[in-house]
Amino acid sequence: MKIIIAPNSFKGSLNAFEVARHIQKGLEQSQLNAECHLFPIADGGDHTLEVCQSAMGGEIRESEVKDPLGRSIKAKWLMHSATHTATIEMAKASGIGLLKANELNPAKCSSYGTGQLMVEALNAGAKKIILGVGGSATVDGGMGMLQAMGALMVWNGGDMPGNPLLGFSGIDLQKIDHRFRGVEMVILSDVENPLLGPKGAAHVFGPQKGADNIQVQQLEKAMANFNDFIYKHTGKDYKNTKGAGAAGGIALGLMAHFNARMLGGVDFLLEKMGFEKQLTHADLLITGEGKADSQTIGGKGPSGVAVRATAIGIRLSCSRAWQLISIN
């Protein structure tokens, strides 16, 4: 029996590589006569960096950046010098996993550190930047990131809030480092949520990041204001764009100013990993993630592998919760 073990990371406990090894160990202890193939996956969220290195090679580098609350930390990123391609995982610099539970507050959190990693990649000679945007602590429309890249912010008087989106009245994207104009940008999203509305960045992800009901409304209004500003100056409207709500709307400025491409993270990574070839002659696929819910079928890694396996008749093993959300 050939078994493919392809879990996503279990947020807050084990990464995908650790989960795969534990499942393999359990199967070995069961004395099942099976040939196990470990295939830990990612979707743009946690541990995308490690999965990208496993699939495509490259050198892990480390840079000093600011965390979501402005504290100095060391964050890893991936540079593939031969192809001048950098891979950045937003969660390494601006992730929810960097904060304690009592520190979660999207009104105070910024994606500035992610922008610092973008600059580091630029300085290293990157001509293409792949940005994985899952697992963030922020709902700032990417304004913090854009600041770090050189954008000039204008806000509504007083001190600028921790989340620049909330004090936003204007932004000069022409001040962004001119070298970025020659860089291809690819955004890997782990969700398909639009920017605004009941399924958008503020309403769905704000509460997960510590926002109360009042803050959710404030964030929604501010995000709409930023989108309106972009529409006024570019004619581009992203409020209903699939995936634009990922990671607190981080892609908004990148799509507007750089024509960044938004891709499904799991689809991109599974292709790079040669996943469908690995499925050949497999009898069983085991997958899962920390929590299976309605978001799982909206771009998360396990849904991507499940669809590919069931399409060619391979049996699928996952939690019962998946049956409740129509993954079977």
* Other Cβ atoms within 10 Å of 21 Cβ, number: 14
Residue 60 falls inside a structural domain: yes
Residue 74 falls inside a structural domain: yes
Together in a domain, 166 and 18: no
| Spatial distance between the Cα atoms of 268 and 188, rounded to a whole number of angstroms | 8
| Spatial distance between the Cα atoms of 115 and 138, rounded to a whole number of angstroms | 13
Together in a domain, 141 and 289: no
* 126 within 8 A of 184, measured Cβ to Cβ: no
Q: How many domains does the chain have?
A: 2
**Last-in-domain residue among 233, 266, 299:** 266
* HEC readout, 19-51: HHHHHHHHHHHCCCCCEEEECCCCCCCCCHHHH
* 60 within 8 A of 78, measured Cβ to Cβ: yes
Together in a domain, 182 and 251: yes
Q: Give the strand order in the sheet containing 35-38.
A: 35-38, 2-5, 284-286, 315-317
pLDDT truncated to tens, each residue of the chain (328 aa)? 999 999 998 877 899 999 999 999 999 999 889 999 999 999 888 889 999 999 899 999 999 999 999 999 999 999 999 999 999 999 999 999 999 999 999 999 999 999 999 999 999 999 999 999 989 999 999 999 999 999 998 877 666 678 999 988 889 988 999 999 999 999 999 888 999 999 999 999 999 999 999 999 999 999 999 999 999 999 999 999 999 999 999 999 899 989 999 999 999 999 998 888 888 889 999 998 877 665 556 567 888 888 888 888 888 887 654 554 444 4
Together in a domain, 24 and 103: no
Residue 271 falls inside a structural domain: no
Residue 159 is predicted with a pLDDT of: 64
Place of tokens 């309106």: 228
Structural domain that includes position 299: 2-40+276-324
Residue 124 falls inside a structural domain: yes
Together in a domain, 77 and 6: no
Place of tokens 């990574």: 269
| Spatial distance between the Cα atoms of 189 and 244, rounded to a whole number of angstroms | 9
Together in a domain, 34 and 147: no
Residue 292 is predicted with a pLDDT of: 65
Together in a domain, 94 and 203: yes
Together in a domain, 34 and 81: no
| Spatial distance between the Cα atoms of 85 and 234, rounded to a whole number of angstroms | 28
Together in a domain, 237 and 280: no
Together in a domain, 54 and 183: yes
What CATH number corresponds to the domain at position 306?
3.40.50.10350
Helices (H), the chain: 16-29, 48-56, 90-94, 112-123, 143-148, 213-234, 252-258, 265-273, 275-278, 301-311, 320-324
* pTM for this model (two decimals): 0.90
Residue 325 is predicted with a pLDDT of: 42
**101, two tokens:** 């539970």
* Other Cβ atoms within 10 Å of 26 Cβ, number: 10
**125, two tokens:** 């000679």
Residue 297 is predicted with a pLDDT of: 60
* 147 Cβ contact list (under 8 Å, min separation 6): 110, 112, 115, 153, 164
Residue 134 is predicted with a pLDDT of: 87
Residue 70 is predicted with a pLDDT of: 97
Together in a domain, 159 and 231: yes
